[in-house]
Amino acid sequence: MNLDFQKDIDFGLSASKKTLPSKYFYDEIGDALFVEIMNMPEYYLTNAEFDIFKNQNQELIKALKLEKNNFFELVELGAGDGTKTKQLLKALDDQNYNFKYDPIDISENALIQLKASINKELPTVQIHPKQGDYFNVLSGLKASSHPIIVLFLGSNIGNLTDARAKDFIQKLDDNLKIGDRVLLGVDLIKPKSVVLPAYNDAQGITKRFNLNLLTRINKELDADFDVDTFEHKPEYDEEEGIARSFLVSTKDQNVSIKSLNKTFTFKKGEKIHMETSRKYNDLILNGILEGSSLKINDRLTDSQHLFADYILEKY
């Protein structure tokens, strides 16, 4: 039994405005649904960032101030299948840069597959995967005397509230040394007509992605959520630049969670806040960086200006 999971679900459903942490979306089924999301026509984020890595890898290398004769470590937080990163690794490898690649992921399985594919496709790249929560692995970075380049792609920072994003940046800052760089991929603020469909696709994959957390609670905490009685309702406020996903109860109902020994009451129309996906611009990112010694050095965007990879440096 995962005690943190149990505690977090209890805390979220006991709040006056019910909420569930989106970090728990990613069980085996959730991982597979997220791969489907990344392939959806509406989900522009993945293709946009891939476009930067494929077509501007030379510009990325320059903006990151990488030097051929100076060994560096590329540390990727939440590496997943590494599709985008491989474009950069290939460019570095082809030009004989001297580096190692340390992907960090919570999923052991994702790392095994990533290592196998890098060994096959880029056999001369040194890869040292590390399994774990990347917040914990960050503390090991300071031990290195080499320049560190942290990759945090895919707008993963967008799933943190601004307060948590600030905490994360502070932790990152504390564990880097002067001159280390960060490549931070973020989705940019843009009109509702583009953002909302990415979280409300025609095939209903994102709906299944959200409902899967209720199914996970049923399985792991012995609960009786009737997933057919919850509707998926994403919202996007362009002014604020935040997309939020909710599940809405379609009737008055009780849900019992046996492992908590508790029953939760839902009113018809009551919402559970499932996920926050913050979109960024320079002003918002500077607000998050304020108080840290990480500063924006550069920014690359895809050809349609949907997504940005920011280059930060510790001063």
Instruction: Report the interface residues with ligand AVI, using CB under 6 A.
Output: 37, 45, 154-156, 158-159, 199, 206, 209, 275, 277
- Which of residues 158 and 241 has its CB atom nearest to ligand AVI in the complex? 158
* CA dist 257 → 175, 206, 230, 261, 263 (Å): 40, 24, 17, 6, 6
Shortest CB 158 distance to ligand AVI, Å: 5
Tokens of 118: 């890098």
- Which of residues 175 and 206 has its CB atom nearest to ligand AVI in the complex? 206
- Which of residues 56 and 277 has its CB atom nearest to ligand AVI in the complex? 277
DSSP notation for 158-205: GGS-HHHHHHHHHHHHHT--TT-EEEEEEEBP--HHHHHHHTS-TT-H
Shortest CB 60 distance to ligand AVI, Å: 20
- Which of residues 85 and 277 has its CB atom nearest to ligand AVI in the complex? 277
Compute the distance between CA of residue 67 and CA of residue 65 in angstroms, rounded to an integer.
6
Shortest CB 156 distance to ligand AVI, Å: 5
Tokens of 39: 């392939």
Going by their DSSP bridges, the two strands 181-187 and 307-314 should be labelled as antiparallel
Shortest CB 198 distance to ligand AVI, Å: 7
Shortest CB 43 distance to ligand AVI, Å: 6
> Is 301 in a helix, a strand, or coil?
strand
CA atoms within 13 A on the CB side of 165: 23
Q: Where are the beta strands (DSSP E) in the chain?
A: 72-77, 99-105, 126-127, 130-131, 148-152, 181-187, 230-237, 242-249, 253-257, 262-266, 271-278, 294-301, 307-314
- Which of residues 33 and 217 has its CB atom nearest to ligand AVI in the complex? 33
- Which of residues 178 and 202 has its CB atom nearest to ligand AVI in the complex? 202
Shortest CB 278 distance to ligand AVI, Å: 8
Shortest CB 185 distance to ligand AVI, Å: 9
CA atoms within 13 A on the CB side of 271: 11
Compute the distance between CA of residue 260 and CA of residue 237 in angstroms, rounded to an integer.
35
The per-residue b/e assignment along 246-263, b for 16 or more CB within 10 angstroms, e otherwise, is bbebeeebebebeebeee
- Which of residues 99 and 209 has its CB atom nearest to ligand AVI in the complex? 209
Shortest CB 164 distance to ligand AVI, Å: 14
